[in-house]
Structures are given as structure tokens and as C-alpha cells.
Amino acid sequence: SQEKFNVTSYGAKTVAIITMEVLAGMWINAFIVSVLCISWVKKKTLNSTDKILLLLGCSRFCYLCVSWVYSFFSIIFPKYLYVHSTVQLVGSIQSFFSFSNMWVSACLCIFYCLKIANFRNSYFIYLKLKIDRIVPGLIFGSVVFALIISIIFYTVIDKALCKNLNCTSQGRFWRARIRIEEDFFPIYFFTGFLFAISFVAVIFSALLILFSLWRHKQNMQTNSMKDLSMDAHIKAMKSILSFLIMYSINFLFIIFNLIYSLKGQYLEMFPIYVVQYIFPGVHSLVLIFINPKLEKILRRILPCGNCK
């Protein structure tokens, strides 16, 4: 009884921390979406950067909502979550917004790379000139790809749970003896492979911009005037490096999540949720401060916005 009370108390504290993180992240991403939507209505158009940021903000806002619901019920009221079709549906929706977030973020890094970096390669120059036309296709492809993956997630989870369902447990799947390494290993491997591809794209974009920045700095050493291209390089590097750090830490905690899931140590997974839900808000905040329009509006509405 005492152990059960300790677990419940620990879970309640974890939910409280997750709730504060999620609310902060939702507010930050809702700010991005609202500002860009108002700008869209006023100007009747959006540039390529704003299109990517708009979809990124929407996907992160929805991801945080669904993730909070999943975490809340899995920690506090698991019996209401683990019933037939509910856990599959929530898991597939969460995977849809998670992969949308991942791929759209990678598209943002690629966009910064093509837009700011300068190379004489003919293929790179062609992509640089066509990037504004390619962006809608990249965004649409990312969403469709995430939708396909979420459908695969639903099918795999449903098949595994239905195969191992104990009919006497009244649909409570957490009592079923599911062999994760047998039923979920293909989807874990597929997820890791897709994550690795986007991770490589981010690293490659960061290296290209870093090399372009270094070469541009070498060419501008004799020029004492402020260079706008240099500022653009630095702002892009801040965004990509922040996302690269987020990707690295998130990947590390995904590995921890997988290890604890395989061992059935679900109590140890609570701190992992706490860490993972920080990044959608933190990286979006970085994107706000490197975007002059968003930063100006944020400083205007904050109580201490004009404080230095």
C-alpha cells in the first residue's frame, strides 16, 4: 500500500511537471501560429520561411496536446487508456505529429542551408534558385509521409495487442504479455532509420553552413563594415545548432525509452517524458528570437519586453 502510494505520488509530481512544460511549449508554438496566421490574412501570402514555421508550430502544438493526454492517462488513469483501439489511435496520432515535427524541422534546416550558404556547385545553385518553389512540395511530402507512418504504427500496434490480448482482462492491455522484441522491433528499427536520415540531413546542413560561413569570413577579413550575409549565416547556424543539440539529446532519450520499455521498467520512463517535452518549446523559442518579426512582436507583448 505504501509502495502504491509512493508510485502514485511520484506519478502526480511527474504529471505536474509535464503539464507546466507542455503549457509553456503550447503557448510558444501558439504564439508562432497566431502571428503567422494574422500576417497571412493581412498580406494574403506567406514567404517560404513562414510556411515552414507555420506548419512546424501547428505540428508541435498538436504533438504536445496529444502527448500530454497520453502521459496523463498512462501515469494517472492507465485503465482508461489501455482499452481496445484507444491506445492504437493515440499512439498513431502521436507518431503522426512527432514525425511531422521531425521532418518539417529537417526541411527548415535544409531551407536555411540552401538559402544562405554559397557554393559554386551547379546542382546546389539550381536548388538554391528553385527552393521557394520546392518548399510547398517538401511540406506536403512531409505531412503525407508522416500520415503513412502513423497508419503503419496503428496497424502494427493493433496486430501486436490483439494477438496478445488476454480476454479476461476486460480489454486492459497492460496485462498482456507482449514480446516487444518480436512484435515491435521492426517498427522501432524503421523509426530509428527515419530518425537517422533526418538527423544526417540536419548535420549535413549545419556543416555546409559552417563551411560557407568560414569561407565567407575569410573573404571578408579586410572589410571592416558590417556584413549582412555574415549575420544571416550566424542566425542560421544558431537555429540549426540548437536543433542539432535537441536532436542529439532527444535521440539519446529515445534509446533510454526503448531500453526501459524492453525491461518493463515503466516507472523509470517518467523522467524521460519530462525531458523530451522540453524541446518543442525550447527550439521554437530559439526560432522566435532569430526571426526579427516574431521577436519584435514577442518583446512588445511581454511585460519586460523592453528591458535590456
3-state per-residue secondary structure call for 256-268:
HHHHHHHHCCCHH
Could you tell me if residue 144 is inside a domain? Answer: yes
Q: Rounded to an integer, what distance in angstroms lies between the CA atom of residue 284 and that of residue 184?
A: 31
Q: Say which residue, 3 or 179, is predicted with more confidence.
A: 179
Are the C-beta atoms of 116 and 232 separated by less than 8 Å? Answer: yes
Could you tell me if residue 40 is inside a domain? Answer: no
pLDDT in tens, 253-263: 766 766 665 55
The predicted pLDDT at position 169 comes to: 44
The predicted pLDDT at position 127 comes to: 84
The predicted pLDDT at position 62 comes to: 93
The predicted pLDDT at position 32 comes to: 94
Could you tell me if residue 3 is inside a domain? Answer: no
pLDDT at 239 over 50: yes
Percent of the chain scoring above 90 in pLDDT: 10
Are the C-beta atoms of 109 and 239 separated by less than 8 Å? Answer: yes
- Mean per-residue pLDDT of the chain: 76
Other CB atoms within a 10 A radius of the CB of residue 33 amount to 18
Closest CA to 254 of 189, 207, 298: 189
Could you tell me if residue 207 is inside a domain? Answer: yes
pLDDT at 172 over 50: no
Question: pTM value?
Answer: 0.81
Rg of the chain, C-alpha, whole Å: 22
Could you tell me if residue 217 is inside a domain? Answer: yes
Could you tell me if residue 48 is inside a domain? Answer: no
Are the C-beta atoms of 76 and 11 separated by less than 8 Å? Answer: yes
The residue range of the domain holding 206 is 84-293
Could you tell me if residue 70 is inside a domain? Answer: no
Residues 6 or more apart whose CB falls under 8 angstroms from that of 150 comprise: 92, 93, 95, 96, 99
The predicted pLDDT at position 9 comes to: 60
Q: Phi/psi of residue 297, each to 5°?
A: -70, -40
Number of domains in the chain: 1
Could you tell me if residue 188 is inside a domain? Answer: yes
